[in-house]
Every structure is written in C-alpha cells, then in structure tokens.
C-alpha cells in the first residue's frame, strides 16, 4: 500500500486538451481477437461457502474450480480476456510481473517478466482482445500485444504513481488515474489525448457502460464525475472518510458503487450523484473497516467485495442483502474481477494465491 500521498493544494480544476475528444468519434479500428490456449479441464476443488439465510436464487452455490499458486508475491490486479478464456494477473511491489492463466485448467500459459519496475497496480484488456495495458508506481503505462505477449509502447506523462486504468467500451480511449491526476490516451493511434488536472490524488477510476462518463475516486474519499466528450467536471461529492478503494457502475449505468478503507460500500445515483443506500451486513463476517476491491457481475446485479479478513462477500444490489460469504484466502483479498460472460469470479490476495470461482 503506497503511502506517498500529497495534500490537497488547490480547488481549481483546469483541463489541458491536447486533441479534442470529439475527434475520436470517427476513429475506426477493431482488430481480431487474440487466439487463446485451450487445455482439457480438471476436477474442481472443494471450498466452504457460507450462505446467508436470506439467500436469493442468484449465485446460490459458487464453486472454486482452481487455485493459482505460481506467484512470487501478493496479487495486485486481475482482469479477464473478452472471451472469458484467459485471466491476467499483476504482481505486487518488487514483483512487476504479468501472468496469463488458462481458465480451462488453471495452468500458467504466459509470463511478461519485468512488465513494470514495481507493482503492477492495474491491468486491463482492450475490448477487441488485442492489447493489454498495465500501469505502475514507476509512473508509466505499458502496452502489450496479446498475440505475442510482446511490448508495443509506453504512455509517459504521469509524474507520480499510476494506480488505476479504465477504457471506453469501444476501446478507443484509455484513461489512467494516479497521484498526479487523470490522463486520457488515444489507444487507436497510441498518443496522448487530454489531461484532467485533479488536485486530489486519484486512487480509482472507471467509465460508465455508455462510455460518456468517467468517475474518479481520490485518497480523501471524494468522488467526481467527468463528461468524456467535453472533459468537463459534471459534479462531485464526498463519498467516504478515507481513500476510495473501489468504483464500479452497474451494467445499466444507473448506479455508481463506491467502496473505501472506511469499511463502507455505498450506492449513488449516477445521474444526480445522490446517495441511495449503504450495503450493510449484520449476519456474518464484515470487512473489519477495510475494503480493498469490488467488482460487479456484468449479467446480474451482484457485487463482490474483498477486504482484510480474507473473505469474499457477494451482495444483491437490488435488495442490498448479503448473499454469500466465500472463504479460501488466508490473508487480505486485494483484487477481484468478474469474467465478461458473468460465469466466473477471480480473487487475488496477499497470500499470493488467485482463486477462480464458477458462478
């Protein structure tokens, strides 16, 4: 956990647009999805699942199918390929390695060594399946060709730790958030696009399903919503009392979910920024005032959260109820990702393990 956060010096927000965002509208260019290795499956492992007495029909009995252990350090970041056949993981401090895993049998099928000089803070794959992006405390964003696992180029412009990446649904704009603010990149032409000068240190960013709004969370607990077409700040609100550690839009784009080291998971109206509810658990293990990661299933209103006690909690966003508590990690859960088809959940922890769950 990096503690080199700077103070909030100014409330003025300025925007330095290097290329108008609207020029991206006409950029073409999806390419073929990278081919992925398929290997015969093995029998799933057993795992303890604690069910809430008020469990709904959703996700009644998730099963752990693989435990991925070939990691030298903590798991910092996770993402799936668009076809849900490959999982990509990023390592923690002094282990800047990116690993690629086969979902079919849990085997390691690729290594990108020295992907970053320090921790791989965030990884994502472009919607066409061709490009992998990673960012780090070394101030850089690196791009990789997923057909060959070869480096293609770096985006250089941040002057401090880069902590979070997100991408528009059409794959044209990559956004990066770090301790020095938010930057936008033209992923098609591989060039800088815009800088949003944000004086609070950015910890998390995400883009709405329609690609119109970027949400950012900072180390002071403030959430801001940005119009990606104009680069203008739409609204801001104080969401938490500590760092925002998780941000996610629901699949319909109507709700923004935030999580924090203050132990709260909150739901907000994405259009107005109004608070709607808090997810609270009175019947089972809680996250002991520290939530590290969240993810929302793309096919159902189900949210997964992970924190200090090494458990994963599944929430029904329509009712606000806790559905299941999954156990398997022996240390803090630090990364969570659902597969694009909604059938798989990946969780990574400080215990150097990645667990794969079939929903």
Give the lowest-confidence range in 94-103, 163-172, 214-223, 318-327: 94-103
Give the pLDDT confidence score for residue 287 in this predicted structure.
46
Sign of CA dihedral 320, 326, 327, 328: negative
Give the pLDDT confidence score for residue 24 in this predicted structure.
31
Give the pLDDT confidence score for residue 72 in this predicted structure.
77
In this prediction, residues 53-66 reach a mean pLDDT of 65
Neighbour-count burial for 8-22, b at 16+ CB within 10 Å, e otherwise: eeeeeeeeeeeeebe
Q: Of all helices (H) and strands (E), which one includes residue 2?
A: none
Between these two residues, 117 and 14, which has the higher pLDDT value?
117
In this prediction, residues 191-198 reach a mean pLDDT of 87
357 vs 336: CA distance, rounded Å: 11
* Residues constituting the chain: 359
Give the pLDDT confidence score for residue 61 in this predicted structure.
77
DSSP, residue by residue, 92-157: -TT---EEEEETTT--EEEEETTSSSS-EEEEEE-TTS-EEEEEETTSEEEEEETTTTEEEEEEE-
Question: In the predicted model, what is the mean pLDDT of the chain?
Answer: 83
Q: Side by side, which strands form the sheet with 75-80?
A: 75-80, 86-91, 98-102, 108-112
In this prediction, residues 89-93 reach a mean pLDDT of 85
Give the lowest-confidence range in 66-75, 281-290, 346-355: 281-290
Give the lowest-confidence range in 11-20, 179-188, 244-253: 11-20
In this prediction, residues 55-80 reach a mean pLDDT of 80
Give the pLDDT confidence score for residue 304 in this predicted structure.
97
Count Cβ atoms below 10 Å from residue 193 Cβ, excluding itself: 22
Question: pLDDT by residue (tens digit) across 266-284?
Answer: 999 999 999 999 997 654 4
Give the pLDDT confidence score for residue 116 in this predicted structure.
87
Angle, vertex CA 264, rays to CA 258 and CA 266, nearest 5? 40
68 vs 70: CA distance, rounded Å: 6
Give the pLDDT confidence score for residue 114 in this predicted structure.
83
Q: Supply 137's token pair.
A: 């405390």
Cβ distance 78 to 91 under 8 Å? no
Among 39-48, 49-58, 104-113, 335-344, name the most confident range: 335-344
Q: How confident is the model at residue 104 (pLDDT cuts 50, 70, 90)?
A: very high
């Amino acid at each position: 956990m990096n503690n080199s956060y700077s103070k909030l010096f100014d409330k003025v927000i300025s925007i330095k647009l290097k290329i108008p965002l609207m020029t991206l509208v006409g950029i073409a260019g999806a390419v073929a999805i990278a081919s992925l290795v398929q290997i015969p499956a093995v029998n799933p492992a057993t795992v303890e699942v604690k069910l809430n007495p008020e469990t709904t029909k959703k996700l009644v009995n998730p099963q752990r199918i693989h435990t991925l252990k070939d990691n030298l350090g903590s798991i910092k970041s996770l993402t799936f390929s668009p076809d849900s056949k490959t999982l990509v993981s990023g390592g923690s401090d002094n282990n800047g390695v990116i690993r690629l895993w086969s979902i079919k049998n849990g085997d390691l099928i690729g290594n990108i060594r020295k992907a970053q000089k320090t921790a791989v803070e965030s990884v994502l794959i472009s919607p066409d399946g061709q490009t992998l992006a990673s960012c780090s405390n070394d101030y850089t964003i690196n791009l990789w060709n997923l057909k060959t696992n070869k480096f293609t180029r770096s985006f250089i412009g941040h002057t401090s730790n880069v902590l979070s990446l997100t991408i528009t649904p059409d794959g044209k704009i990559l956004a990066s958030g770090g301790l020095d603010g938010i930057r936008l990149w033209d992923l098609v032409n591989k060039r800088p696009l815009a800088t949003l000068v944000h004086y609070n240190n950015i910890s998390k960013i995400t883009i709405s399903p329609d690609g119109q709004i970027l949400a950012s969370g900072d180390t002071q607990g403030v959430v801001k919503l940005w119009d990606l077409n104009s680069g203008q700040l739409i609204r801001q609100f104080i969401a938490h009392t500590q760092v925002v550690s998780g941000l996610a839009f629901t699949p319909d784009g109507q709700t923004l979910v935030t999580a924090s080291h203050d132990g709260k998971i909150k739901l907000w109206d994405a259009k107005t920024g109004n608070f709607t509810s808090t997810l609270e658990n009175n019947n089972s293990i809680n996250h002991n005032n520290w939530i590290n990661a969240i993810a929302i299933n793309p096919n159902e209103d189900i949210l997964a959260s992970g924190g200090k006690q090494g458990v994963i909690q599944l929430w029904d966003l329509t009712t606000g109820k806790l559905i299941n508590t999954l156990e398997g990690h022996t240390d803090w859960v630090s990364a969570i990702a659902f597969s694009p088809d909604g059938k798989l959940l990946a969780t990574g922890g400080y215990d150097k393990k990645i667990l794969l769950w079939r929903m």
